[in-house]
Structure 1
Amino acid sequence: MAELQNCPNCGKLYVHNIFRDVCENCFRAEEKLYDTVSTYLRKRENRTAHIDTVVEQTGVEKALLFKWVKKGRLNLRHFPNLGYPCERCSRVIKEGKVCDECQTSIKTELETIEKINEVKKANHSAERTYKTINTRR
C-alpha cells in the first residue's frame, strides 16, 4: 500500500510504494547514473571490475551500486566481482543478508543462549524442590 514519506535523498514529500523508494526527481537521477554504470559494465574489459573500480570510473556512490546489486538490477552472474556488504560485518557478499562466517557465529551464539536458558530453567526448577522431614519415629 502506498504511503507518503520524505525522500531519503532530498527530503521532498512523495508517495512511497514497492517500486520506488525515492521521489520522482531522485529516481530519474538514479536512472541516469544506472545507465552510466550499465554502459561502463557492458564493455567486455570492465565486466570483472570491482566495486571500487566502478565507483572510481563512473562517479556513482557505492550505496547505489549495492542497492542495484541487492535488487538484482546488476546481475552477479555477468559481473562476478560485484556484491554488497554483509549486514553484520560489512564483508562483500553475493546473496543473503549476512556472510557465511556471521551465520555460523550467530548460530553458535543462539545455541549458547539456549544452553544457558536450559541451565537456568533446570536451576530454577531445582530450587522449588521441597523435602519433607519425617518427624514421627
Structure 2
Amino acid sequence: MLVIIFLVGENGKVYEGRGWNRQAAHSPGWNDDAFGICIMGDFRTASPNEKALNAVQDYYIITHRQSQRPGYTECPGNGTMDVVNKWPRYCSFQNPGTPLDANETLLSLANNFCGKEVPSPSSASTYFITPVILFFLLLIYAL
C-alpha cells in the first residue's frame, strides 16, 4: 500500500508531500500502514501556531518520537509535545523497541492501545474519517 505524507504550514494549509503514487518514508516501521503529517518548522522549544495545530488534531495522534524505539529521535520536539499530549485524540502509545510477534505490526499494536485509551469520536465527520484513515502520525521535524 502506498501511503502519502502531508505537510502543514503555519498558515493552516495542508500540502501534498511525496505524492500519491510514491512510497512513504516518514517513520521506519510505519511507512506501509500510516499516513504522515509534518508541520513545517523547528518546534524543539516552541510549539506550532494555532492554525497549524488545528489542521491536524482530529485524528489519533502518535508522534514520531513515540513511533520509534525509545531514544531514537527527539522529533517533534518538547515544545510540540507539551501541546499535543493535551489533545483529546492524543494516544500515549510508545513503540517498545522489542521484536514483534508473528503477524503483528506496530500499527496493530498502536491501534489496539489507542482504541482502549482514546475516547470514540463524537462528531459524525470524525467518526467517518477515523476508520478510513485509521491512524495518523504527527511528524514534526526541524527543517
The answer, yes or no, to whether TM exceeds 0.5 is no
TM-score, normalisation: structure 2: 0.28
Larger Rg: 1
More strand by share: 2
Larger RCO: 1 or 2 (CA < 8 Å, sep 6+):
2
TM-score, normalisation: structure 1: 0.29
